[in-house]
A and B are shown apart, each in its own frame.
Chain A
Amino acid sequence: MKAAKALVFPVVLIILAEIGARAGGPSDSVAPPSEIFATFLDALRDGSLLAATRDTLISAFAGLLVGAGLGLAVGLALGSIRTLDRLLELALELLRPVPSVAVIPIALVALGFGYSLEIAIVAVACFWPLLILSRAAVRGVEPRLIEVARALRLSPLQETLKIVAPAALPRIFVAFRLAAGVSLVVAVTVEIAVNPQGLGYEAMTAGQALRPALMLAYVAWIGVVGYALNVLLILAQHRLFGQAGRVEAAR
């Protein structure tokens, strides 16, 4: 019942779009949903859609691994070592507000067009959420548990492995999930702005070639990929962490 209600609005919108687009006659900028879907199937069949998807996902994923990995490492260090945290606080506060897209020109000069450019920007974008949230996750470990570790006289390594890491893991996974969303968004953005590859680029090219159905097919597909990725990661989170994960998952 709830699912049915949720579908009413989008279905109505799609129907309205269909009628509206058809009524306006052939156009350079809009296309009816039926045509969009047909074009989507064509692009799927001839492999161009999948190739572009692959390009975008490779860059996004690689950037995520690099950026989130670095962010996690630094975040864990900052969370555990108060002195380091305090010393670096100002430096990080000055660097963080720089939007990842602003780094595009620097990376462009250094790396040229292609995968490395995109991976670099995605990495920058994913670095910060992981740093902030993993630091918070470490800091947020129940102090009582740390006291237990001290009482049991665990070595720093044991304390990290047996107490801190498992306690912080659910929140770190949530950070990772957020960063994954960011990685896709940033990858597509870089493609739209400068990089001649991937889903964003295909959408832009289709638009410039006055092929609205193809352009909108790519735009819609980008949405579907983003949504699917999010759903997959939420499922993974529930599988891995069950109730413990659910408590932490404040979207």
Chain B
Amino acid sequence: MRALGWRLAGLAVVAALIALWGEIAALKLVSPVFLPTPARVWTALEHGFSQSDLGAKLVGTVSHMLGGWAAASIAGVALGALIGSSKAAREYIAPTLEFLRPLPASAVIPVAIALFGLTPQMALGVIAFGSIWPVLLAATRGFAAIEPRLVEVERVLGLTCWQGVVKISLPSAAPDILAGLRLGLTVSLILAVVCEMIAGLDGLGQWVLLAARAYKSADIFAGVALLGAIGVVANAGLSVVEARALRWRAPSAR
């Protein structure tokens, strides 16, 4: 009950902040070129969906993001399984991976453009390349850290290689992999937006940039709000999956 009370109070705070925003905009304390009123943003959203192609742009960004992320996740888990399970591979390859970790994924964009031009394939490649790193590193760590006792149980029971991976290695690495997937999703959204801005691909990145060039602040805010919404939904979705997959965890171990 108390939790509900706080939630409602939080909602009231959000409403108050929006009202404050409306006041500042209405009083033109900040130029309407930069700061539209909440009402105008709402109108822009409605207008965008009904009379313009905001819906298509939304779908575009989501599909870019998910497409690249899905490809990267599968490849990342598979590679991570291979590298993480082999001591030799870890010694030779893992240091290079660690070195490449702090690098900006966006830095590969000029290279991708040089190779593939300003195409959707380029975008997909960039997004996948960028989001594979968190997944790959997390999967490598997860597969390397399998409880040795379980490996012995695997040997005693005579599990085949495939059985071992599916029944023991994957579930064991799942917490790490899920954390990596979450990070990868964040990266893929960012790269999707950047690629859309640069390559003029059909998506919210393009929408907001065009709106900026035309000084339509309400449209910009509408697009930004939708991008935030994508982030919220994507994260919430993953949280649900995570909760289900990891419900065996003892309450302390989280």
Interface of A toward B, CB cutoff 8 Å: 2, 5-6, 8-10, 13, 28-30, 86-91, 93-106, 108-110, 181, 184-185, 188-189, 192-194, 200, 203-204, 206-208, 210, 212, 215-216, 218-219, 222-223, 226-227, 229-230
On whether the beta carbons of A6 and B11 are closer than 8 Å, the reply is no
Contact of B96 among A6, A86, A188 (CB under 8 A): A6
Asked if B143 CB lies within 8 Å of chain A CBs, one says: no
Number of A-B contacts (CB under 8 A): 169
- CB neighbours (8 Å) of A96 from chain B are 231
Smallest beta-carbon distance B150→chain A, Å: 23
Q: A-B pairs with the 9 shortest C-beta distances?
A: A97-B231, A90-B10, A105-B212, A6-B95, A98-B228, A207-B110, A29-B114, A185-B104, A189-B106
Q: Which of B33, B104, B209, B220 is the most central at the interface, judged by chain A CB atoms within 10 Å of its CB?
A: B104
State in angstroms the CA–CA spacing of A193 and B113 once bound together. Answer: 13
Query: Is B34 touching A110 in the complex (CB atoms < 8 A)?
Result: yes
B84 close to A (CB within 8 Å) = no
B81 lies within 8 A of chain A by Cβ? no
**Which stretch from B45-53, B157-165, B188-196, B246-254 is at the chain A interface?**
B188-196
User: How many of B's residues come within 8 Å of A, CB to CB?
Assistant: 56
**A192 and B106 contact, Cβ closer than 8 Å, known pairs A29-B115, A98-B224, A216-B111:** yes
A235 to chain B, nearest CB (A): 14
Chain B nearest CB: distance from A230 CB in Å? 5
Whether the pair B224, A203 counts as a contact (CB closer than 8 A) is: no
Q: Residues of A contacting B71 with CB < 8 Å?
A: none
Interface residue? B14 (CB, 8 A): yes
Chain B contact residues, CB within 8 Å of chain A: 6-7, 9-11, 13-14, 17, 33-34, 91-93, 95-96, 99-100, 102-111, 113-115, 186, 189-190, 193-194, 197-198, 204-205, 208-209, 211-212, 215, 217, 220-221, 223-224, 227-232, 235
B194: which of A29, A101, A207 is its contact (CB, 8 Å)? A101
In the assembled complex, the CB of A197 is this many whole angstroms from the nearest CB of chain B, namely 15
Q: Across the interface, which residues of A come within 8 angstroms of B220, CB to CB?
A: 105-106, 109
Nearest chain B CB to A211's CB is how many angstroms away? 10
Determine whether the beta carbon of B194 is less than 8 Å from that of A105.
no
Using known A-B contacts A97-B235, A109-B33, A207-B114, determine if residue A226 contacts B104 with beta carbons closer than 8 Å.
yes
How far is it, in angstroms, between the C-alpha of A89 and the C-alpha of B111 when the chains are bound?
41
A102 touches B93 (CB 8 A): no
Q: Which residue of A lies closest to B16 (CB)?
A: A91
User: Closest residue to B97 on the A side, CB-wise?
Assistant: A9
CB pair A185 B227 closer than 8 Å: no
Distance in Å: Cβ of B137 to nearest Cβ of chain A = 10
Residues of chain B within 8 A (CB-CB) of A181 are 102
B107 touches A103 (CB 8 A): no
- Other-chain contact of B106, A105, A110, A185, A206 (Cβ < 8 Å): A185
Among A8, A30, A98, A227, point to the contact of B231 (Cβ < 8 A).
A98
Query: Across the interface, do B212 and A109 meet the contact criterion of CB distance under 8 Å?
Result: yes
For A82, give the chain B residue with the smallest CB separation.
Answer: B6
How distant is A189 from chain B, measured CB to nearest CB, in Å? 4
Contact A222 B107 (CB under 8 A): yes
Cβ-defined partner of A89 (8 Å) among B10, B34, B93, B209: B10
Assembled-state Cα–Cα distance A61/B228 (Å)? 26
Min CB distance, B82 to chain A, in Å? 14
Given A9-B92, A90-B11, A109-B33: A189 in contact with B104 (beta carbons within 8 A): yes
